[in-house]
Amino acid sequence: MASREQFSSKTGFVMAAAGSAIGLGNIWGFPTQTASNGGAAFVMMYFLLAFCLAYPALMAELVIGRHARANIVTALRHVAPSKPTRFLGTFIGVYGVIVASLILAFYGIVAGWMMTYLGASITDLFQWNEASQWLTSFGFTRNIIAMGIFMVLTIAIIASGIQGGIERWSTRLMPMLMLILVALILYVLTQDGAKEGLKVYLIPDFSQIKPSLILDAMGQAFFSLSLGVGTMLVYGSYLSDKEDLPKLGAIVTLTDSGIAFIAGLLIIPAIYVAQAHGTSIFSESGTLIAGPDLIFQVLPSLFNSMGGIGPYVALAFFILMTIASLTSSISMLEVPVSLASEETNATRRQATWLIGGVIFVCSALILLNFELLFTLVIDFTTVYSQPLLGVLLCVFVGWIWHRNSLLNALKAGSPHLEQSLFWKIWPVYVKFFCPLLILATFIQSIIG
Ligand code: PFF
């Protein structure tokens, strides 16, 4: 068997994993959930859950992946000690692969929209009004072309492998993303109305903390850290045994939450700047506009009202969104591709194009039945499946995998781990606390 590729360095891994984590979930999802869930109260709950729940779950994925050095299905079968548990491993793995692929199917559609608005900010610069009009109007042809182009970019990167594809593009794109984000924040914060937005973002209203808020914050944390579906597991499988897993996991969690927080400093003030420029920011029911209308109506009308600099700000913003989407979408595609290329005779390139093609067809079906399927697929994958898979993976690590083998796998690369708090807490925590907390949040939200 050809030797398995690995990331060339710690930085390569951190860029790739942070690239997966940082996406539309951070720059769009987090700020808008915050704005519609009572501002800073949501932010605090989110941070609590990101570190106390999502980080331990992330560690579970990384440690399985690095130990088994395989895709999610093979890895879970590898650590399972008996026939029934191997069967369970296959079930969880296949469920994860399906969910990762379905997430890509809807994510590719949304990323396609980011690209059409990116295109429109260029056509605006040249005053090609008809082209801008077409690019910003919702229609099947526009949607499918944009999604198709985005899928081809995702496929091209994944077909080039770990170092030549994922690592190379994540290390190029992530610094660009951060630069654009900071430049945009500095600009928006100097505009009228920004202060009002900062207040909403940073002053908590604790009366807003209710079960539905906790479920939203949990779903958001799992989505943002790309958990449950095997993305982090497979990225962990390309990491050397010499690296300190708990530390790298903590860096990824911190970077992801940090960028979400920083993105809030852009989006929420921008909403109020738009209001200061005369755009209505409340829907008919009196709540703040949060969904697609925010990104595709409120912000563009803000950019339009900015005069000559507007199209450039719009360009920077939609490049930011496209980069964020691409470094995440490649990680989703890696989940089924790693399974197919490791478990069949197909080459990586063949597997990537074939699976990318199937996911393209799924996206096309969603576009054809948009009203029915779009939110259904999002809810099935992100609200329910990701946390549920998170529980199953914690159970796998805490209850099924042989404890000594788990602890040895955890220790590799961290010579002083046995003296740390992490060592004392995590194995028990992931066994009892994580699955129970996730389940309790679920049940709470169902019984209201
Ligand atoms: N973490 C990504 C975001 O915040 O946009 C979304 C994501 C990536 C979800 C990869 C799931 C996944 F496997």
Cα 192 to averaged position of ligand 1 atoms, centre (Å): 33
Select the more confidently predicted residue: 439 or 164: 164
For residue 21, the ligand 1 atom closest to its alpha carbon is 1
Residue 1 has pLDDT above 70, yes or no: no
How does pLDDT run across 79-122, given as a tens digit for each residue? 999 999 999 999 999 999 999 999 999 999 999 999 999 999 99
Count of domains forming the chain: 1
Task: Report the residue among 174, 224, 234 best suited for mutation to probe ligand 1: largest number of ligand atoms under 8 A from its CB.
Answer: 224
Pocket lining: 326 vs ligand 1, CB cutoff 6 Å: no
Say how many Å lie between the CA of residue 329 and the centre of ligand 1: 7
CA–centroid distance, 296 to ligand 1, in Å, is 21
259 C-alpha to ligand 1 centroid (Å)? 14
Average pLDDT on 293-315 reads 88
331 Cβ inside 6 Å of ligand 1: yes
Q: For ligand 1, what atom is nearest to the CA of residue 386?
A: 11
pLDDT band of residue 302 (cuts 50, 70, 90) is: confident
- Give yes or no for residue 70 having a pLDDT over 60: yes
Tell whether 2 is covered by a domain.
Answer: no
Q: Give the CATH number for residue 143.
A: 1.10.4160.10
**89 C-alpha to ligand 1 centroid (Å):** 22
**What ligand 1 atom has the least distance to the C-alpha of 223?**
9
Q: Could you tell me if the CB of 224 is within 6 A of ligand 1?
A: yes
- For atom 10 of ligand 1, the residue with the nearest CA is 226
CB of 26 shorter than 6 A to ligand 1: yes
25 close to ligand 1 (CB < 6 Angstrom): yes
Mean pLDDT of the chain: 93
- Asked whether residue 330 carries a pLDDT value surpassing 90, the answer given is yes
Tell me if 249 is assigned to some domain.
Answer: yes
pLDDT in tens, 112-141: 999 999 999 999 999 999 999 999 999 999
pLDDT digits (tens, 9 = 90+) for 31-66: 988 887 878 889 999 999 999 999 999 999 999 999
Q: Is 252 in the pocket of ligand 1 (CB under 6 A)?
A: no
pLDDT at position 249 over 50: yes
Q: Is the CB of 188 under 6 A from ligand 1?
A: no
Does 16 contact ligand 1 (Cβ within 6 A)? no
Pocket flag, ligand 1, residue 20 (CB < 6 Å)? yes
Domain membership of residue 3 (yes or no) is: no
Does some domain include residue 359?
A: yes
Name the residue range of residue 389's domain: 10-447
User: In this predicted model, what pLDDT tens digit does every residue of 403-432 receive, in sequence order?
Assistant: 999 999 999 999 899 999 999 999 999 999
Question: Mean pLDDT, to the nearest integer, of 345-354?
Answer: 97
The answer to whether residue 178 is domain-embedded is yes
- Check whether 168 has a pLDDT greater than 90: yes
How far, in Å, is the centroid of ligand 1 from the Cα of 21?
A: 5
Q: Give 145 Cα–ligand 1 centroid separation in angstroms.
A: 22
Look at the pTM and tell me if it is higher than 0.90.
Answer: yes
Q: Please report the atom of ligand 1 found closest to the CA of residue 230.
A: 13
In a domain, 329, yes or no: yes
How far, in Å, is the centroid of ligand 1 from the Cα of 206?
Answer: 28
Atom of ligand 1 at shortest distance to CA of 225? Answer: 1
Q: For residues 215 and 206, what is the distance between their CA atoms, to the nearest angstrom? A: 16
Q: Is the CB of 21 under 6 A from ligand 1?
A: yes
pLDDT greater than 60 at residue 2: no
- Tens digits of residue pLDDT in 205-236: 888 777 778 888 888 999 999 999 999 999 99
pLDDT given for residue 448 in this prediction: 62
Verify whether ligand 1 is closer than 6 Å to residue 328 (CB atom): yes
Residue 74 within a domain: yes
What pLDDT, in 10s, does the model give residues 308-322? 898 999 999 999 999
| pLDDT greater than 90 at residue 440 | no
Cα 182 to averaged position of ligand 1 atoms, centre (Å): 22
The finding on whether 103 has its CB within 6 A of some atom of ligand 1 is yes
Q: Residue with the nearest Cα to atom 12 of ligand 1?
A: 226
**Does the pLDDT at position 276 exceed 60?**
yes
Q: Which atom of ligand 1 is nearest to the CA of 232?
A: 13
Q: Is residue 348 part of a domain?
A: yes
Residue with CA nearest ligand 1 atom 11: 226
Atom of ligand 1 nearest to the CA of 325: 5
Q: Is 227 in the pocket of ligand 1 (CB under 6 A)?
A: no
